[in-house]
Amino acid sequence: MNLRSNSNILENVKLLGKSELNSKKITQNVATEVHVPPAKKIRKKIVVQAADENARASTSKEEVQVSSWKPGNWPKTLQNIREMRKNRDAPVDVMGCEKHGDFIGTEKDRRFHILVSLMLSSQTRDQVTDAAMRKLKTDIPGGLTVENLLKLDDGVLGKLIYPVGFWKKKVLYLKRVAEILRDQYDGDIPQDLAGLCMLPGVGPKMAHLCMDIAWGSLTGIGVDTHVHRIANRLGWTPKVTKVPEETRKALEEWMPRDLWREINWLLVGFGQQICLPIGPKCGSCLNATICPYAKGEVKLESPRKKKKLVE
Ligand code: SF4
């Protein structure tokens, strides 16, 4: 994260008056509790852990590796997952959000496509997100841009993105986000975690992935439901975690930073093909003999639970 990003965060802190600065790590982390003002009945309260990439990259080993705890067998487990994922033929490999920025247009529009794709992908299969993005790109007069989206009737937008999960709510979020981008970011997307997380319908997982895919800035591990579930099954957290954000923090405590970018892609595809939410294919998994979940050492709640929109 550059100086401008830190400046933005600190400015947000100042303006909102709801934040706490960690004085020991002020150059590395800024913990910001952000309250978004009510806008068209969309309210949001979030906690953002913003990491300064450049600062962290240059810090000493002791500062990055803040925990000495590491899961047993993790290098072997990771190697096995890489082996099982070597064909790169999971839905995420051909329809992941980073695929939706590949078009001829401005850099701003490319980043907007990635943000929209991430917003649609929450609680939605990659195939459905991909179909919706294709329709948005081809059926919106003039193409998918901030201005063109704002001109679109809500009903038409709903038909274009249906049946993505929570599509009615996402119509409202997309419209509100487009307004914010037009009014506050000159039609671009925010270039920092705090700014992204302040957008309606955008949570930490999306923000970290967006920073990486849209801006090329690695700020944290993108932990979705696949990464959250598999990390717990593999015992990659010191204790069972309840939500993806808790899992992200636990993983970042021990996992070498050079794996952060790879791990989302690796585990999402692994979760789509083998370590399924319900009925994981342990019989054909290379990790069956070392996996705590397969050996009955880890008990987890059923994934059949109430869905949450923002990740
Ligand atoms: S053994 Fe089963 S639970 Fe463990 S990683 Fe493999 S598929 Fe998932």
- Which pLDDT score, from 0 to 100, does residue 114 have? 96
Atom of ligand 1 minimally distant from the CA of 292? 4
- The enclosing domain of 183 has a CATH number of 1.10.340.30
Please report whether residue 194 resides in a domain.
no
The pLDDT confidence band at residue 9, using thresholds 50, 70 and 90, is very low
**Is any atom of ligand 1 closer than 6 Å to the C-beta of 294?**
yes
- % of the chain residues with pLDDT over 70: 73
Please report whether residue 147 resides in a domain.
yes
* Mean pLDDT comparison of 4-13, 120-129, 148-157, highest-scoring range: 148-157
Whether residue 228 sits in one domain with residue 90: yes
**Atom 8 in ligand 1: residue holding the nearest Cα:** 275
Whether residue 294 sits in one domain with residue 229: yes
Please report whether residue 210 resides in a domain.
no
Please report whether residue 78 resides in a domain.
yes
Would you call the peptide bond into 277 cis, given omega within 30 degrees of 0 as the criterion? no
- Domain of 180, in residue numbers: 103-188
Please report whether residue 201 resides in a domain.
no
Over the stretch 255-303, which tens digit does the pLDDT of each residue have?
999 999 999 999 999 999 999 999 999 999 999 999 999 999 988 877 6
Whether residue 182 sits in one domain with residue 229: no
Q: For the chain, where are the E strands, in sequence order?
A: 29-39, 42-51
**Is any atom of ligand 1 closer than 6 Å to the C-beta of 282?**
yes
**For the chain, how many structural domains are there in total?**
3
Whether residue 141 sits in one domain with residue 84: no
Whether residue 84 sits in one domain with residue 119: no
Whether residue 235 sits in one domain with residue 87: yes
Amino acid code (one letter) for 58: S
- % of the chain residues with pLDDT over 90: 68
Residue 309 has pLDDT above 70, yes or no: no
**Is any atom of ligand 1 closer than 6 Å to the C-beta of 293?**
yes
Taking alpha carbons only, the member of 188, 181, 195, 200 closest to residue 7 is 195
- Which pLDDT score, from 0 to 100, does residue 299 have? 84
205: annotated active-site residue: yes
Whether residue 86 sits in one domain with residue 229: yes
Whether residue 86 sits in one domain with residue 228: yes
Whether residue 144 sits in one domain with residue 121: yes
Please report whether residue 209 resides in a domain.
no
Please report whether residue 130 resides in a domain.
yes
Whether residue 120 sits in one domain with residue 167: yes
- The enclosing domain of 275 has a CATH number of 1.10.1670.10
Please report whether residue 216 resides in a domain.
no
Taking alpha carbons only, the member of 169, 89, 178 closest to residue 140 is 178
- Which pLDDT score, from 0 to 100, does residue 12 have? 40
Over the stretch 91-104, which tens digit does the pLDDT of each residue have?
999 876 666 655 56
Over the stretch 57-112, which tens digit does the pLDDT of each residue have?
434 444 444 568 999 999 999 999 999 999 999 999 987 666 665 556 799 999 99
